[in-house]
Chain A
Amino acid sequence: MSEKKTKFTLADLFKRCQTQKIDTSKSSCGCGSETNCSTNADSQNSCECKSNNHGLDENDVASNTLLNKPMNRRTAIASMIGGTVAGTAVASTGLSLLSTEEKREKTLLKWQEYFKGNFQVMTDKEKAETIHRLERLAKIEKNVDVKIKGTQAQPNTLYGYAFNISKCKGYRNCVDACIKENNLDRKSNMQYIRIFEMENGKMDLESGNAEYYHEVPADGHFYMGTQCFQCANPPCVEVCPVGATWQEPDGIVVVDYDWCIGCRYCEAACPYWARRFNWNTPEVPAKEVNKNQHYLGNREKKKGCVEKCTFCIQRTREGRLPACAEACPTGARVFGNLLDPNSEIRYVLEHKKVFRLKEDLGCEPKFWYFMD
């Protein structure tokens, strides 16, 4: 499957378009015109009028490119439409706060984004380009300088997690940390982690309660956290019709948010209820955005795609702990490299009596529970 190659990038063309960008240095309104335009709001109309011409310029660029360079048909069609789209967008600037220049750039970037391929089969160049586009878009749309990484899996690494039931007190600091770290939608109050309050004497999630709103720890109860267990044999990956989710070499199951078509088959297939869908356009206030992002991790998502816990791929691949493990005040969370014999997780697996949820399903989760 992996040798499949999608050559769907229009990067070359648009780079060429961008080199012909109108010099905006002379005009503060960004429409690029000096003669017909002032920064005065009243002259907005004349600005738009000129902007239309820029749209046409774009078309000219596209057609020049068509004439001078050999292109395949798809690229050619896309480039022509791209030019038109850009022109139309500029024409419809209206009362937007963005300058026409930014508006046009945004439209072009979005257009290029639409035609990009599956991250799994992108070349390094394509990966760098899409990351650059996403960073630019974050700047234009939210005025946030995000840094999106594409850090690959580290060699000899297989991440695992252990959860100490004796220590967890149900404070849910991990939940809060996760929301902030992973830029989770504030509007729908999305959460990857679920902490179940369990009655003593029962080890059955059916009788647990994840919707508790009282002082913790409650008498006669213990607490059990769930999140994505990064199964070694993940059913969610198998069922995805477009290969938008897969397992990385370090064992993390990731989602390409821009490739997911939103059929939610993976949500139905997950036996641990670990996946979340963006039912609405996710909202994260600009000042709360975590700018340290990863393409397969906590970057901001669009509506209509599925997402999930990635063991904080943006942190762990740099040798840091996941946000939940770092935030836990009781030390109930143990995270580490299963291939490192000196890691804490290996110590737990070797010295404690551990168990996993629903082992009968054969998903081989890399998330163990244990007691002191």
Chain B
Amino acid sequence: MANLYYFIRDALNTATAGGKKYHLWMGMLTFVMLIGAYGYWIQLKEGLHVTGMNDHVSWGLYISNFTFLVGLAAAAVMLVMPAYILKDIDFDKAVLIGEGVAVAALIMCLAFVTADLGSPHRFWHLIPGIGYFNFPSSLLAWDVIVLNGYLILNLSIPFYILFYHYRDKLPQKKLYLPFVYLSVFWAVGIHMVTAFLLAGLPSRPFWNTSLLGPRFLASAFAAGPAFMILLLQFIRTNSQYKIRDETVAKLAMITTVAAQINLIMLGSELFKEFYRHTHHGLSAYYLFFGLEGHNALRPWIWTSITMNIIATTILTIHPLRRNSKWLNPMCLMLFVAIWIEKGFGLIIPGFIPSPLGEIVEYHPSWIELSVTLGIWAMGLFILTILIRVAIYIELGKIRSPKLSST
């Protein structure tokens, strides 16, 4: 118990102490979070009519970010799988970072869903036992289970490992490896369930496609490792934490292959939507070309597609991918492209036109934007703390004081 106390104390000390740049970064995130909190306070008081959503487009920026971030969380598996299961030594150091990303992304997911709720104070209605949990009929109930389960897994595995390292002990593989296996399947699960949540609605032909699940996975396994590469590059240059070139190279390979598969699926979808023009293709038509003069998403999706194609092409060329001068910006490009495409490029058109054929567009309000930014800032804040503590422990900078006394 005393060890646990020291662990938490040292972790908090590590998280709150740092150089000027660190404090500036955390201060900036706090500022954005406060703006988000202010926006959310207004939303709580006034109701969701302060957002740009309406009965026609009843989900907006919040759910868009939610679907994207579920992918980011699931992509942590790309690091877990080789590191623990395939015993690929290269990934060992990066995996704690990956799990940190998963935790931060999941907390953001839960925050986005909560922000989207009309009556968040009734959250307890969802708790099995005291509430009324509509399982297994509702895919949202499934999502509650898989997301929270994944969060617990990704919190407890790194905690176990770090806590053992903190006490200079070797974590027992027998104890945590089964959970690692579980989390691999679980990662695929969270993303498939989230895709099914949308794909299971025949009322929305834009989502009601069997390709949605696989496409979610492909885009997640491109955007997730792309984000990881950027993060690892940053950690490599700004700390003594050693991450070998091979790790980054392998991640880049994963990103590239996933991005290629994602493009093939995109092509397949475009063919189906546009070869024969049907009413079921109207949402896609709205997204790419606009309908009856409504074309708010058109510039976004074309930006996304262009960035996607450029990034995938350049990453496909071996010499360019191996050069971090090309790799880093292309990863950023791919990440942003997929954020657009799988975020509001996927959610908003599902509602346009409405099931009765009416076209009402959606424009997020500043309150929605501030809450969205606030949640992203919160995610980055949590990610920074988790990674900082993990790195300090892995580098041996913090150790249990009990060790030195004995």
Q: Which residues of A contact B (CB under 8 A)?
A: 1, 4, 6, 8, 74, 114, 117-118, 120-121, 188, 194, 196, 204-208, 210, 226, 235, 238-244, 259-265, 267-273, 275-281, 302-306, 358, 361
Contacts and interface: CB of A to CB of B under 8 A. Distances in A.
A-B pairs, 4 with minimum CB distance = A262-B118, A304-B118, A206-B357, A271-B203
A279 B368 CA distance: 14
A4 B125 CA distance: 13
Given A206-B279, A235-B201, A238-B137, A279 B125 contact: no
Contacts of B53: 279
Contact of A268 (B121, B141, B201): B201
Contacts of A6: 130-132
Contact of A273 (B113, B125, B138, B356): B356
Nearest to B116: A263
Given A268-B203, A273-B356, 14 more contacts: A117-B132, A206-B282, A207-B357, A243-B134, A259-B125, A259-B132, A263-B113, A267-B58, A268-B350, A269-B201, A272-B203, A278-B47, A303-B118, A306-B118
Given A239-B140, A241-B134, A261 B279 contact: no
Nearest to A206: B357
Contacts of B121: 114
5 contacts: A114-B121, A239-B137, A260-B118, A268-B351, A281-B47
Contacts of A118: 125, 131-132
- Of the listed residues B49, B117, B138, B282, the one surrounded by the most CB atoms of chain A closer than 10 A to its CB is B138
A273 B47 contact: no
Nearest to A8: B130
B268 to A, nearest CB: 23
A219 to B, nearest CB: 22
Contacts of B203: 235, 268-272, 361
B126 A241 contact: yes
Nearest to B118: A262
Interface string B28-63: 000000000000000000111100011110110000
A268 B126 CA distance: 19
Interface of B: 46-49, 53-56, 58-59, 113, 116-123, 125-126, 130-134, 137-141, 144, 197, 200-204, 279, 282, 350-351, 353-358
B138 A241 contact: yes
A270 B58 CA distance: 12
B124 to A, nearest CB: 9
Contact of B126 (A4, A261, A278): A261
Given A241-B138, A241-B141, A263-B117, A280 B46 contact: yes
Contact of A240 (B138, B144, B282): B138
B132 A226 contact: no
A243 B113 CA distance: 18
A268 B348 CA distance: 11
Contacts of A281: 47
A263 B140 contact: yes
A235 B202 contact: yes
Secondary structure at chain A's binding surface: helix, strand, loop or mixed? loop
A270 B59 CA distance: 14
B283 to A, nearest CB: 12
Contact of B133 (A196, A238, A241, A260): A241
B127 to A, nearest CB: 10
A342 B126 CA distance: 44
Among B48, B54, B279, the one with the most A-chain Cβ atoms within 10 Å of its Cβ is B48
B118 A278 contact: yes
Of A74, A121, A226, A261, chain B has the most CB atoms within 10 Å of the CB of A261
A207 to B, nearest CB: 7
Nearest to A115: B124
Contact of A261 (B48, B125, B204, B358): B125
A318 to B, nearest CB: 29
A8 B282 CA distance: 47
B356 A205 contact: yes
A190 to B, nearest CB: 8
A262 B117 contact: yes
A188 B353 CA distance: 21
Contact of A305 (B118, B130, B204, B355): B118
Contact of B118 (A120, A243, A261, A361): A261
A280 B119 contact: no
Contacts of B139: 239
A120 B134 CA distance: 13
Given A235-B202, A259-B125, A277 B118 contact: yes
A194 B118 CA distance: 24
A181 to B, nearest CB: 20
A304 B48 contact: yes
A240 B134 CA distance: 7
A127 B220 CA distance: 47
Contact of A277 (B46, B55, B144): B55
A238 B202 CA distance: 13
Nearest to B125: A242
Contacts of A277: 48, 55, 58, 118
Given A6-B132, A303-B118, A361-B202, A241 B59 contact: no
